Amino acid sequence: MKLLSSFKKELILASRSFYFYIELIFALVILAVLLFAVPENFSSTSTEYLYLNLPKEVKEIYTDTILESVPGIEPEEVELEADGKTYDAQLIVTDEEEIYIVDNEEAVRTLAYSEQVIGAVIELDDNNQPYYKYYLQGYESTRLKNLISILFNESTDVLEERIENQEVRPLSTDYEPLNDRENTLPPLIAFSGSLMGMFVMASYIFLDKNEGVIKAYAVTASPVWQYLMSKIFVILLTTVVSGLIIVMPIMGFRINYGLFLLLLLTTGFFASSLGLLIASFYNNLTKAFGVVYLLVILLMVPSIAYFIPGWDPVWIKIIPSYPLLQGFKEIILPNGDIAYPLIASAGFLTAGIILFAVTNIRFKKTLSV
Amino acid sequence: MLKRILTIFARDLKVNMREFLTLYMMIIPLILAVGINFISPSINDTSVNLALVENENPKQAAYFDDFAHVELFSDEQRVEDRVRSRDDVVGILPKDNGYYIMTQGNEPESILEYAKLLNVLYESDVQLEDARSEIVEFGRTVPPLKKMLVNMLLLLISMLAGMLIAMNILEEKVDNTVSAINVTPTSRSAFILGKSFTGMFVALFSSIACLLITGFYDINLGQAALVVFSSTILSLLIGFIQGLNSNDVMEAAGSVKLLFLPLAGSIAGYEFVTGNWQIFFYWSPFYWAYKANDMILSKSGAWPQLILYIGIILAICGAVYAVLAPRIVKKLQ
């Protein structure tokens, strides 16, 4: 009952605070951005500059091959400017590429350098075989350079046919990918919702320390843990409301909200307990700033791995935000793995309880710092 | 007046140093810069991760290693376990008449296509020695992702500078010394300038140091300092209004969170939104600062273009100041 009463009091105080409404406004702004500014799928076309140093007939065959790859496209005559010079070019736009065919090698070199994209000159060698000269920036990895250098050793038609005939055995076939808008949800929920709890919790405690509220608990019948828990409940409530504001309009009823709330609450509890623990070591936010700041940045690192498929070093996986991001992703994925968010929730809950217990001991001992 | 401004600056610096806040603000970006140096080479080397059976075909494993990251496992079951893990790993396993590709089923299309291509090249016996090509490099060593991270760090520094101002003002408010300034010979403008110096000093120091740590010592540091200076002006303005409007750190912290939205939105807009849609980000000074930084970090910065961007940033700052000035003056009273 004391806990409930503390929670009610905290809730009333929070509802009078500017912060509570900022959280809700923030969630609404994110939702608006997602709905109106983030496309369902980002268009990612690459640009390349090409000079065909080939006999006229071969040149035409080459251009026709590109045009035939996407039915209905027409080349467009354009003018390009780089390094104070103007170059004429033929632009061919496919679904994946913007190919500019220019009239000389100097144009390829200048444009590839100034636009920082790949440039290529295609000519015939002594045996009348195609020979490729690539202009690269220099920062490309050795593996990528290796691939580029042999990519056209075989004819494109032969390569395409063999690629088509490759046997692929997927271990699961019921996977449906997320669109780009949906894919941005896990990091937003993780950082705006769950992990901000750490920062906010620490701020809450410092505010109360400043006003002497925590010291007052030394002379009340209510134990400190109930006071701390009531604070956590307020943050969890804010996290749940703002999380639902963002997720519901985008995902509708396609996800398991029970699982979503479970992960949101357990991760929020973990982050808040972490915030409490940090706050127990310092007098004010200014002093704790370095630790909070570094932790927030560290927790953000797994989001880089989240957006870069193929870059997933082992050390990233031990940062708590990694299972947090992956857990939210599994929840919003159609046919996602249910076990993963459940295990992650259990882990965050356990870690949260341990952190909370340690913090409680620290607060009981000091009642101030 | 200059003496008074410097006195306020020295006082803020002393207080902040006592609580290590200024030191944190200056050192943490440097740690982040080192972190960027640490992770960017491995991100740049990102290719496809392939899982193969050890000793099944050492020649094939050596071939793939020239083009992708190869992991070897003792048997097919272990390869399957690896493919089933959360990251994107593709298995290439033997079958009766060649090799097949094992996927988890959720890999991006590009990764699957890359793995297929490598397998085809191997099966077609296309060797590096037979390459009918040559590569000319421009000698650039900084990959785009590193440039992007450094650019984001520069904007973050200017944000933190604003936050430092907000914290300092808040501290004055808690001590009830903001209104006391009115009965001293220090004018309001001297107070504002004095309070701004710490933020500007931190922003300039941290930005230049981060650029040097991350290897951008051959860019035009003068141009970079100019952009940092102009974007910091906006942060200072917002820092002031945050500090004066907030009654406690909770409210100031919430305001900072709101401020992150236009910053992150501007970066995302510049990087991901194509063509004409970028017009929707023209209102944001962070967009112009990011664009200007990108130009400088790419070493393609021409002064007229840079002056235009800085002019836009300052014009937006001027407009924001025109709107906020009456509130700042009122709060200082």
**pLDDT value of position B16:** 65
**Half-sphere CA count of A273, side-chain side, radius 13 A:** 21
The answer to whether B261 and A30 are in contact (CB under 8 A) is yes
Residue A351, both tokens: 């870690």
**pLDDT value of position A230:** 87
**pLDDT value of position B272:** 73
| Chunked mean pLDDT (size 10), chain A, 369 residues | 74 72 82 79 79 88 80 84 86 85 92 90 87 92 91 82 90 81 88 77 77 72 82 88 92 92 94 90 76 83 84 87 92 89 96 93 71
Residue B81, both tokens: 């376990």
**pLDDT value of position B120:** 93
Give mean pLDDT, residues B33-56. 87
The answer to whether A41 and A179 are in contact (CB under 8 A) is yes
- Chain B nearest-CA distance from A327, in A, is 11
Biggest CA–CA distance in chain B, Å, is 92
| Residue showing tokens 């493919």 | B83
The answer to whether A278 and A286 are in contact (CB under 8 A) is no
**pLDDT value of position A369:** 45
Q: In B, which residues are within 8 Å of A169 by CB distance?
A: 100-103
Chain B (141-170) residues lying within 8 Å, Cβ to Cβ, of chain A: 141-144, 167
Instruction: Give how far the C-alpha of residue B105 lies from the chain's centroid of Cα atoms, to the nearest Å.
Output: 33
Residue B80 near chain A (CB below 8 Å): yes
pLDDT-derived band at B275, boundaries 50, 70, 90: low
**Which of A167, A170, A196 is nearest residue B105 as measured by Cβ atoms?**
A170
Q: pLDDT over 90 for what percent of chain B?
A: 25
Residues sharing a CB contact under 8 Å with residue B73, sequence separation 6 or more, in sequence order: B51, B52, B53, B54, B79, B81, B82
Give CA–CA dist B295/B293, Å, rounded: 5
- Chain B nearest-CA distance from A298, in A, is 9
Instruction: Give how far the C-alpha of residue A11 lies from the chain's centroid of Cα atoms, to the nearest Å.
Output: 32
Q: In B, which residues are within 8 Å of A137 by CB distance?
A: 137-138, 140
Residues sharing a CB contact under 8 Å with residue B47, sequence separation 6 or more, in sequence order: A141, A143, A144, A310, B67, B68, B69, B114
Give CA–CA dist A240/A53, Å, rounded: 62
Q: In B, which residues are within 8 Å of A30 by CB distance?
A: 261
A178 secondary structure, DSSP code: P
Antiparallel, parallel or unpaired: β A168-170 and B98-103 = parallel
**pLDDT value of position B1:** 66
Give CA–CA dist B326/B333, Å, rounded: 11
**pLDDT value of position B51:** 94
Give CA–CA dist A263/A258, Å, rounded: 9
Residue B3 near chain A (CB below 8 Å): no
pLDDT tops 90 at residue B64: yes
pLDDT digits (tens, 9 = 90+) for B194-224: 777 777 888 888 888 999 999 888 888 888 8
Give the three-state DSSP class for B89.
Answer: strand
Residue B14 near chain A (CB below 8 Å): no
**pLDDT value of position B248:** 65
Enter the pTM of the model.
0.79
Chain B (242-301) residues lying within 8 Å, Cβ to Cβ, of chain A: 246-251, 253-255, 257-258, 261, 265, 269, 272-274, 280, 298, 300
The mean-pLDDT minimum among A104-113, A256-265, B286-295, B296-305 falls in B296-305
Closest CA to B92 of B124, B60, B121, B62: B60
Q: Beta partners for A239?
A: none
Q: In B, which residues are within 8 Å of A147 by CB distance?
A: 67, 117-118
**pLDDT value of position A169:** 92
Residue B116 near chain A (CB below 8 Å): yes
The H-or-E segment that residue A47 falls in is: strand A46-53
Instruction: Give how far the C-alpha of residue A167 lies from the chain's centroid of Cα atoms, to the nearest Å.
Output: 32
pLDDT tops 50 at residue B144: yes
Mean pLDDT score of chain B, rounded to an integer? 82
pLDDT-derived band at B72, boundaries 50, 70, 90: very high
